[in-house]
Structure formats: structure tokens, C-alpha cells
Amino acid sequence: MDAALIKSLRPGKPSDLKPSDLKSSDPKTSDKKPTEARLPETRPAELDPSEFLAAAVRADQPRPSRHEAEAAVHTLLAYIGENPHREGLQDTPRRVVEAYDELYQGYHQCPAEVLDRTFGETAGYDDFVLVRDIEFTSQCEHHMMPFYGRAHIAYTPVERVVGLSKLARLTDIFARRLQTQEHLTAQIAAAIDEVLKPRGVAVMIEAEHTCMSVRGVAKHGAMTFTSRFTGMFRDNPAEQARFLSMVRGPNR
């Protein structure tokens, strides 16, 4: 087999194939089946722990002043052709900055602290815990436009469980940052996995993105689904199927 064909089978790694793996051109050995090249098992890329264990903004981190932030909004109003000084827009820069303080408060909150308090009185419970239909609103990091939907979170505790409301609070912390849906899904799963050390975590998010529904292709109602599985959910397809069945429910 020539080098070009080997390269087409294993792009960038022609040296990985040994001569014994290739089909011989010798008629005496031509009936032997070549060794199949197996793709390596892949695992999800690991996140930087700083993304999901601590607040994203340090208290001493240099930032523009509120006055500078309001001036930036004033500039944007002028950019779109508006008169920032007319009556209806005079307070808009202040209102926008105040809204941003609320919409992006997740940058100043610590995800790990939300999961710190756990309970050990579980009576030997050894199945997974599922909180379904956690509503959230986040902001797309590409266009800074909202996307919103529901998160479904399950984990299988080892000995201790966390309060159910904490999973909703955790979702809100990550959602109140600039996000992609894929990253939001991965961060929620990683935080639970790292802090609670469960046997496995399953996260599924369904959301509508306004950057797709009110601009661009303008497809209202189009839903995006993402999921992340760790531990027993990743390794056991039956557990994945059971989780998805419970998320969808009989009326979905």
C-alpha cells in the first residue's frame, strides 16, 4: 500500500500503521484479513476548574467605572441613529447598566458555595435524584441576545445529597453570564461532579435562542438540545435512557 493511501486512512499519522497491519500483496497471504485500526476512545474535554468553582470576577479585578459603562450605552444609542438626549432616552444608559448588574450577577457568585451544604440523612437512598424543568434565561456570548429554556439535572449521590433548590441556584449562576448553551451544560455538570463527587451526573438543556428567532434566519420556536453525562450516566446507556425517559415524561 502506498504512503498516500495510508495517509488517507489515518490523516497525519501514517507511522501508526505497522507493515503487519496492511494486506499483503503476496498471493500466499492475501486471504488474511488486515488488522482493523480502532479509533481511540474519546472523553469530553475537561474544563478549567476556575470556570465552575469560583466567582468569575475577583473583588479586586480592575473594571471600567459605572460612568464609563453608561457612556458606552450613550455611544451605542448614537451609533444606531438615535438622539441620546431626547426625553425618552435620557435615563436609558443608567437603566441599561442597572439591568446588566442584574443579568450578569453570576460573574460575582461562587458556584461551589451553593453546593457546599449537604445532607446525610438519606435512608440509604442509592438511585439518582432528578430535578426537571428548571427555567432559566441566559445571554448568548456571540450577539449578547437572550436564550431561554429549561434545564434538567440528575445526579446519583454516594452518601450525601444537596438541597433541591441548590441545583436551580447553580443553574442561575452560570446562566447569568455570557454563555453558549454547550458551555452552560458542561459547566453545570462539572460543578456538581467536582463538588458533590457523585456516582454520575446527567444534564440536559433545551432552549430557544433569540439570536436565531428574531434575527438572521428568524426561525421562531426552533429549540436547541444539549446534554452532558459523567460517571455512571456516561458509561451506562441504560441509565442515560432512563434519565431521558423521565425528562420527557409521558406527555412530551
Catalytic residues, which ones? 140-143, 181, 209, 211
Secondary structure (DSSP) of 127-178: S-EEEEEEEEEEEETTT--EEEEEEEEEEE-SS-EE-HHHHHHHHHHHHTSE
Measure the CA–CA gap between 116 and 194, rounded to whole angstroms: 11
3-state secondary structure of 246: helix
Residue of 165, 164, 138 whose CA lies nearest to 149: 138
206 vs 32: CA distance, rounded Å: 50
Strand partners, 209: 147
User: Residue 127 in contact with residue 240, Cβ under 8 Å?
Assistant: no
